[in-house]
Amino acid sequence: MYLLLAAQSIDLGPVQPLLFYGLALLLAISAWLVVLSDNIVRMAVFLLLALGAVGGLYFMLAAEFLAAVQLIVYAGGTLILIVFGVMLTSKNPFLQFRVKLWERMVALALALTICGFLIFALVNTPLGGNGPLTPEAGYEQVQEIGKALLSTYLVPFEVAAVLLLVVMIGAAYMARRRAQ
C-alpha cells in the first residue's frame, strides 16, 4: 500500500520520513541478517526482503520504472536463480558451514573501517546540482529512459544485449549434464 502511495504522489509530505525510516530499517536489518545467518535458505529470504526494500526506496526516489524493474528482474528473476542454485547444490536444506569467530571479527572490523571512511568522505564532500524537481504533468519517465537508452547510451545498450545472449548460451553450455 505504501508503495502505491509513493508511486501516485512523489511529494509525500509528513509520510515521507516515516516511509523512509521504515524501508531503511527493513533494508539494514535484513542486510545484516544475511551476514549473521548461517543457513543459506534464510540468507536468500533475507536477500528477498532487502531487494524489496530497495525497490521501495526507488519508488521514494521518484524512479517508478526502476522500482518495477528491480522487483521484476531482481526479486523475481535473480533471486529465483539463487534459490535454484541452492536447491541444486546442497544435499540437505540445512547445510551449514562453520565460520571461525576471528574470521567474523576481522570481516566486521574491515567492514566497519570502510563504513567509517566512506561516511567521513561523504560528510566532507560538498554536493552540487539543483536538488529534486517535483514532477509535472506531461512528464513520462519511461519515455525519457527509452530515449536515453536509444540515443546517449545506445552502444552500452547493444553491448548489454549481446552480453545477455552470450551469458545465456554460456550458462546453458556450462550447466549441461556431462556425458558419463
Partner 1 sequence: MFEIGIMHFVVLSVVVFAAGICTLLTKRNAIGILIGIELIMNAAGINFVAYNRYVWGGGGVGSLIDGQVFAIFIIVLAAAEAAIALAIFLNFYNTFSSIDVERADEMKG
**Where in 87-106 is the site for partner 1 (CB under 8 A)?**
88-90, 95, 97, 99, 103-104, 106
Q: Judge whether 19 and 12 are in contact, CB under 8 Å.
A: yes
Q: Is 123 left (phi over 0), alpha (psi -120 to 50) or beta?
A: alpha
Verify binding: residue 20, partner 1, rule CB under 8 A: yes
Report the residue number, 3 or 70, with the smaller CB distance to partner 1. 70
49 contributes a contact to partner 1 by CB under 8 A: no
Q: What share of the chain is helix, strand, coil (3-state, %, to 5)?
A: 70, 0, 30
Residues 50-89 that bind partner 1 (CB under 8 A): 50-51, 54, 57-58, 60-63, 65-66, 69-70, 73-74, 77-78, 81-82, 84-86, 88-89
Report, in Å, the least distance between residue 8 CB and partner 1: 13
Nearest to 91 by CA among 42, 47, 45, 40: 40
Contacts (Cβ under 8 Å, ≥6 apart) of 104:
none
Q: How far is the CB of 108 from partner 1 (least distance, A)?
A: 6
**Least distance in Å: CB of 141 to partner 1?**
7
